[in-house]
Structure 1
Amino acid sequence: MIEEVHLLGVYMPAALLWAVLAAVLVYLLRVPIQRLPVYRLLWHPSLLELALFVLLWWGLSVFADLFLHG
């Protein structure tokens, strides 16, 4: 079943909410990650941020499915 979130009178897919939250987390984690010495050795740092976004989005979705369902 597709989950929906009711926010200010608008129904939106829950995946959109988790994607926005994951994007905010990646934005907040960007500066601490850039300060790591290994960050300079990366070929494409943007790919690291994209992978982090995908993993956070997946993790938030799994967390919500397990603990916020119902």
Structure 2
Amino acid sequence: MSGEINLYGVFIPSLLVWMLVALVILLSVRSLLTRMHFYRLVWHRSLFNLSLYLIALGGVVYLTHLQSL
């Protein structure tokens, strides 16, 4: 996959698209964890959410690189 996506003449970095996909994944996982009252067990909710986001972003990037092989 190239580093940019051409959207009607506007070049968008592919990392931005991956970050948006990871954000959607994070929001759905976060709502599920909130409904399960999981955050009562978490010491620092913001750090936990940041780590979940980084894991989701890493997974999205990994899957896109697997697809391009």
TM-score range, shorter chain: 0.7 to 0.9
Greater RCO structure (CA 8 Å; 6+ sep): 2
| One-letter code aligned to 1:20 | L
Q: CA RMSD in A?
A: 2.1
The count of corresponding residues between Structure 1 and Structure 2 is: 69
Aligned to 1:9: 9
- What is the SS of the residue equivalent to 2:50? helix
Aligned to 2:55: 55
1:5-51: per-residue Cα shift (whole Å, max 9, x none)?
Answer: 12243111111110111011111221111233442021111211111
Q: Which 5+ residue runs of structure 1 have no aligned equivalent?
A: none
1:5–1:12 CA contact under 8 A, matched in 2 = yes
Aligned to 2:42: 42
Runs (4 or more) in structure 1 with deviation over 3 Å come to none
Distance 2:63 2:7 in 1: 20
Identity of aligned residues (%): 33
Q: Which 5+ residue runs of structure 2 have no aligned equivalent?
A: none
- TM-score of the two chains, using structure 1 as the length reference: 0.79
